[in-house]
Amino acid sequence: MLGAVGTTRAAPAAKYYFQLHEVQSQIALDGDIRQFAGEALKTELASRPEWESDLGGAASREMIVAELKKRRLSGFDLVVKITELKRDVQEARPGSRLKRLVVSVKLSVLGTTLPGEKIAFGGDGEAGAEAEVTERRMDEDARAMTKDAIKDALKQAVDQAVLKLGLPKSEPLNESKRRRRKG
């Protein structure tokens, strides 16, 4: 027998809905990397049970808001901001003939509420990779390493965002509670 009776657990229900608003960059990005960053964010969030990306065909803003209320989900428009993307070729290490390729990425994931468009959370991610590569495969390896670094940085940023969303909301003290503390 593989497991005990009654040990099956239901998957946690989704709490949040997301839609990708855009991928922004402070540096020049080719369309392929920009599109990859958006798809990688969608894939990362889809792999997490607390996030939902499908509202069953709700297309207009009003339909989305109504479906969010019906399902009791918090909705967010997400923006990925790539703040740094570096690619550096360094000389070979002593005893090696291959040059070293170093790639680093810094990015943020920001969420604004649906509806209301108020800033709700942010998460930052940073990742890098280093490898010895041949001259003729430099561009191909750089592209693959960049994509891997983007995925790792997005995972970090989403981990931060989920943590922040899970924190209890603090409420300001009202005047009567302040007076009792002073007295």
The pLDDT value given to residue 116? 81
Q: What is the CATH number of the domain that holds 27?
A: 3.30.160.150
Query: Does some domain include residue 161?
Result: yes
Query: Does some domain include residue 105?
Result: yes
d(CA 100, CA 157): 27
For 137-156, letters b (16+ CB in 10 Å) and e give eeeebbbebbbbbbbbbbbb
Q: Are 52 and 16 in contact (CB under 8 A)?
A: yes
The pLDDT value given to residue 131? 93
The pLDDT value given to residue 58? 78
Q: Does the pLDDT value for residue 173 go beyond 60? A: no
Q: Does the pLDDT value for residue 159 go beyond 60? A: yes
Our count of domains for the chain comes to: 1
The pLDDT value given to residue 41? 96
Average pLDDT over every residue of 55-75: 88
Q: Are 144 and 131 in contact (CB under 8 A)?
A: no
Query: Does some domain include residue 6?
Result: no
Strand order in the sheet with 51-52: 51-52, 16-25, 74-90, 99-114, 119-133
Q: Does the pLDDT value for residue 6 go beyond 50? A: no
15-24 pLDDT tens trace = 899 999 899 9
The pLDDT value given to residue 114? 87
Reported as a pLDDT band with limits 50, 70 and 90, residue 1 is very low
101-151 pLDDT tens trace = 999 999 999 999 988 888 889 999 999 999 999 989 999 999 999 999 999
Query: Does some domain include residue 177?
Result: no
Reported as a pLDDT band with limits 50, 70 and 90, residue 12 is low
Query: Does some domain include residue 59?
Result: yes
Query: Does some domain include residue 2?
Result: no
In the chain, DSSP assigns E strands to: 16-25, 51-52, 74-90, 99-114, 119-133
Q: What global pTM score does this model have?
A: 0.81
Query: Does some domain include residue 173?
Result: no
Query: Does some domain include residue 45?
Result: yes
Domain that holds residue 134: 16-168
The pLDDT value given to residue 178? 54
d(CA 17, CA 35): 20
Average pLDDT over every residue of 153-165: 93
